Chains A and B, each alone.
Chain A
Amino acid sequence: MVDVQDSVKLAQNPHPRATPATAAVLRWRDDVAFDGPVVAFADFGGDSNAAAVRVDPADDARALVPHLARLRLIEVSFPKYRDGRGYSAARILREAGYTGELRAAGDVLVDQINFMRRVGFDSFAPAKPLNPDDVAAALARFPHVYQKAADAAAPVWALRHG
């Protein structure tokens, strides 16, 4: 179900930050991608009508919880892959019931994509393009998981006692 949009289409995306550095977005969603403006977290007031917001590592994703119903896209930025705060942000949003698009943007590497899928990301805007075959291989690599997360995978303890 990987839907790789091409960079030409992305160039029309008004989001000012992702466009120049982003080669392609990988999506695991069937709905139409949100095409409107993505506002910075600091500008996302409770009275804003924005349907998309960007969360940087230091932003408190939980502050978005009262507004999830009107959000269609939440973009979580990864300025450096080593900064793992975005993983918690994603899982918090999914645990709070967010079902819209959750995008990991920035320093997103193929070796992290499996973990990112597990915490709830369903689209990716890597700064450097990823080879879709490598992505597919990385996602298929591990046959089981040891713990619950934001995905549907049953941990091995559930399989053992299912």
Chain B
Amino acid sequence: MYRYDQYDQALVDARVDEFRDQVKRRLAHEITEDQFKPLRLMNGLYLQLHAYMLRVAIPYGTLSGTQMRILGGIARKYDRGYGHFTTRQNIQYNWIKLEQAPDLLAELAAVEMHAIQTSGNCIRNISSDQFAGSAADEVADPRPYAELLRQWSSFHPEFSFLPRKFKIAVTASDHDRAAVKLHDIGLQLHRNAAGELGFRVFVGGGMGRTPFIAPVIREFIPVSQYLSYCEAILRVYNRYGRRDNIYKARIKILVHEIGAEEFTRQVEAEWALLEPLALDAPTAEYERIKAQFAPPAYDAAAPDSIDRSDPDFAVWVDHNVAAHKVPGYAIATISLKPVGGIPGDASAEQMELIADLAAKYSFDEIRVTHSQNLVLADVRKDQLHALWSALAAADLATPNLDLVTDIIACPGLDYCALANARSIPVAQSIAVRFANLDRQHDIGELKIKISGCINACGHHHAGHIGILGVDRKGEESYQLSLGGSGAEDTSLAKILGPGFSEEGVVDAVEKVIEAYRALRLNPQERFLDAYRRVGAEPFKEAVYG
């Protein structure tokens, strides 16, 4: 994976010094909270319901075992023993003390990590496919391009005061594990007819209160020019994105209001002016970064079979292990969704264990997924059982990837100052209701996503079943939506009908699922496919009938 050189390190260290100075001025009351707010937000520090929350960037969701061990140590030292992995492939700590934040950032900087641009109206952490580099279906490793984007977007002088936050995702396969069409910019690496590498450029996707699926604005931009092309997109957005209404300030609204064709014309016109300025990093820089993502030393003699004689292990393999491009290896997903747990939470001890297991079984590397799980991407098939045993002992081997209990949930009203309703208890109640593994496996792939407010951090628009918590006359109420997807078949979920109480929504989910089981053509027909085939009516009937 990417390692900092002297330049990267000097910049991150300078940022820590700057923030230490700003916190000192704040604690000495030399600056007001109003003046301090934009400064702390540039460093990922939010003031939440009960305490400061710090969001740490995990660029494109890739981190080393060493970094994970430090994240665990930070959870113990500065938080209450937990960290929360997010849908942006980052980690958040919910109980941070302001006076300790500079020391925390210094500990991160010592292992080449930071919280730069994890909040604020700027280009946020770049996200990517959690299987990047190991996926059997990718055209090339997207991470060197994501790292180049990270560097280009860090401390960008023109784009640090955009109309609103800006999220870029990069992927390299037709099977979309990064939800690229639901980002401000989605970049899909592919080859043109001549066999050259370039990006398909999606712009203007997003969730929030006005969800949109991003249109393609350019089928192919060569990899040697994608940075300047992004620069052109950002400039058009910075100049013409709406600033009169925070809820209409994302780029998706601009693209929607002027139309994808006109937006494309403006970007192309801007790019024609920018392209000659040689803004793109040279090929040598790409090669330098790519060398750091060189494939690890795979053992060509690793046996290409898995001993499935342990039935519990076999179930985990069936659900949580994916195909690797190298024979003898597999990709293992560590579920952070134990029944009754908080989706995405990991304790300090779990993080330290995962760090050890990554060092032992997966070339010291870990990935964070946008569905709030972790991945060891390079595990020998003949070591999967040993890995599983160690994970199971720490409650990390729940075989529920993409099943009904693998729920995405935002922090909700338990932590978040923006939330209208709690998300975590709803996720917990649904998981408990469907705790039986045989039942989960019978239901099959079913992605439930829960947001505690209209900002949609829990991706409810992209849920096969989406749940949105709203405030209805002082009471928490939950709306049920069906038919969303964040994968390559991206679609937006549609509201089924009137909302429910917390307990009522769990019952409604169960009714929807039982209706699906009754009407599916066969057990292989997923819930999403069945819904697309029959429409909402049978489910409305089952829930409200």
Query: A interface vs B, CB < 8 Å?
Result: 57, 81-85, 87-89, 91, 95, 111-112, 114-116, 118-119, 141-149, 155-157, 159-161
Contact = CB atoms under 8 A, between A and B. Distances in A.
Contact of A144 (B11, B273, B277): B11
B239 A161 contact: no
A111 B38 CA distance: 10
A87 B282 contact: no
A161 B289 CA distance: 12
Contact of A88 (B10, B39, B155, B239): B239
Interface string B272-316: 011001110110110010000000000000000000000000000
The 10 closest A-B pairs by CB, nearest first: A84-B161, A118-B157, A115-B157, A157-B285, A156-B7, A157-B281, A146-B151, A161-B284, A87-B158, A149-B157
A149 B158 contact: yes
Given A157-B151, A159-B7, 8 more contacts: A84-B160, A84-B238, A148-B278, A157-B281, A160-B7, A160-B285, A161-B282, A161-B284
A96 to B, nearest CB: 9
Contacts of A82: 38, 121, 161
Task: Tell me the interface secondary structure of chain B in the complex.
Answer: helix
B119 to A, nearest CB: 14
B488 interface: no
A157 B274 CA distance: 18
B448 interface: no
A83 B161 contact: yes
Contacts of B10: 143-144
B154 interface: yes
B243 interface: yes
Given A95-B273, A147-B279, A159-B7, A142 B155 contact: yes
B248 interface: no
A122 to B, nearest CB: 14
Interface in B141-156: 151-156
Contacts of A155: 281
B407 to A, nearest CB: 35
Contacts of B15: 142
B161 A87 contact: yes
A114 B42 CA distance: 15
Given A81-B161, A83-B161, A147 B152 contact: yes
